[in-house]
Amino acid sequence: MTIQAIAFDAYGTLFDVYSIRESAEKIFPGSGAALAEMWRDKQIEYTHLRTLCSMYKPFWEITQDALVFCCNKLGLSLSLEAQNALMGEYAHLQVFPENLPVLQELSDSGMKLAILSNGNLHMLQSAVDAAGMQGIFNHLLSVDAIKKYKTAPEAYQLGPDIFAMPAKNILFVSSNCWDVCCATWFGYTTFWVNRHAAPIEELGVVPHGEGRSLLDVLEFLRKHHKT
Amino acid sequence: MTIQAIAFDAYGTLFDVYSIRESAEKIFPGSGAALAEMWRDKQIEYTHLRTLCSMYKPFWEITQDALVFCCNKLGLSLSLEAQNALMGEYAHLQVFPENLPVLQELSDSGMKLAILSNGNLHMLQSAVDAAGMQGIFNHLLSVDAIKKYKTAPEAYQLGPDIFAMPAKNILFVSSNCWDVCCATWFGYTTFWVNRHAAPIEELGVVPHGEGRSLLDVLEFLRKHHKT
């Protein structure tokens, strides 16, 4: 297997969406963790439903819709101020501490790097800038270009298209097990950053590599990257 | 609006999937409710992922996959005996008490009735028989015929096809808000059996009717069914 490029998922993989929990906890004491987790699940569910029904709308809006639903569900009164504060978190997410040096090392080695995300470009650019990752990525790929969210094949196809190489030569890295499993189905070489030691999804498919942080991606490449 | 036929969702709408909670509680004391809820969510998530990726497999198998994942996630050791017991619940689900008389009244009035479900035909027939609903439905429609789960348009299209009428003349009834919302997008007249007084999904679409049990479907039809 020759890996010539890497496509990273953004939310949960490069940027810590669960860091939102702390802001949520300040606004809704006792409910921050529950809100953050439900918000993330609902956000992803809405991307699936809207893609299945060809009812695309941008990720920023879906994220806001999901927040409104979750506050209703949890009986939390969402003021406009709280909504703006929580949505604002998405523009400057915390970054996992090992990520920047790993990405810098990969970039310095000549590996081509991209983000392939559900987020719209404005969200991605804000998160990259806030994380000090300017200049690291060759491409920021948003599904907004094709109006279908992962795990639609058209979304995964953005990687092979931009790098002009087969998916198997691209390492797709995500912390979301459903994302790496479906990317494996699509044809990528895949690596699951299993940050929380979760069980694997029972989808009958296994990612090619698995680790606990982005550091393990380096190890995987050392073992398998035959140029 | 002239309603000439009704298509019912099965699981959660006609058959009480959360009744599985009691069996689960006997097998895994203290974890029954959590397992039942997570199992249902994961089952639906897998239908979305497999449909988005064109990786269909029958609902019975997906249901089993979801059970295995949820037990792993919750740290519950799933013996083959427990797995068989819990899966067996799907073959003879409890039925909501008001459903049989409501369905009988609708059938007696000459309304054409169908089930339109993710479940494969064998699962549906077993559930119908166990519930004493033999002879009530003109059609049992399974997405297994087209190998795509709800909320794919091809799944919803089964209704207009079998009844040979536009979707707007068919009342689509489901207890799952995501299901009625997406059916509304598709073009059905829709009724949400909101059994647990849940907040509406923030999808920018509202079902035509809403109630707390199947009895409210009768009231909706009395108000809106102009023949």
Q: What is the pLDDT of residue B147?
A: 98
Mutate to test the interface with A, among B52, B72, B151, B181 (most CBs of A within 10 A): B52
User: Angle between the B32-52 and A177-186 helix axes, to the nearest 10 degrees?
Assistant: 30
Residue A135, min C-alpha distance to chain B (Å): 33
Instruction: For domain A17-89, give its CATH number from 1.10.150.240, 3.40.225.10, 3.40.50.300, 1.10.3720.10.
Output: 1.10.150.240
Cβ–Cβ of A45/B203 closer than 8 Å? no
Characterize A168-178 residue by residue with b for buried, 16 or more Cβ atoms within 10 angstroms of its Cβ, and e for exposed: bbbbbbbbbbb
Cβ–Cβ of B49/A199 closer than 8 Å? no
Q: What is the pLDDT of residue A226?
A: 55
Instruction: For domain B5-15+94-224, give its CATH number from 3.10.129.10, 1.10.287.3510, 3.40.50.1000, 3.40.50.880.
Output: 3.40.50.1000
From chain B, the residues in CB contact with A185 under 8 A are 53, 55
Are B5-15+94-224 and B18-89 the same fold in CATH?
no
ipTM: 0.94
From chain A, the residues in CB contact with B46 under 8 A are 201-203
The catalytic site residues of B sit at: 9
**For chain A, domain boundaries:** 5-15+94-224, 17-89
Q: Which residues are CB-contacts of B178 (< 8 A; sequence separation ≥ 6)?
A: A45, A49, B44, B151, B201, B203
Q: N- to C-terminal Cα distance for chain B?
A: 9
The most distant pair of C-alpha atoms in chain A lies apart, rounded to whole Å, by 55
Q: How many CB pairs under 8 A join A and B?
A: 82
**Per mean pLDDT, which range of A53-57, A223-227, B15-19, B106-110 is the poorest?**
A223-227
Q: What is the pLDDT of residue A214?
A: 96
Interval B138-159 mean pLDDT: 98
Question: CATH classification of B18-89 is 1.10.150.240, yes or no?
Answer: yes
Token readout for A211 is 């680790």
- Percent over 70 (pLDDT), chain B: 98
Cβ–Cβ of A50/B203 closer than 8 Å? yes
pLDDT digits (tens, 9 = 90+) for B206-221: 999 999 999 999 999 9
pLDDT digits (tens, 9 = 90+) for B121-145: 999 999 999 889 999 999 999 999 9
Torsion region of B21: left, alpha or beta (phi above 0 gives left; psi -120 to 50 gives alpha): alpha
Name the residue facing A53 among B55, B73, B153 (closest C-beta).
B153
Ranked by mean pLDDT, the top range of A11-20, A173-182, B18-27 is A173-182
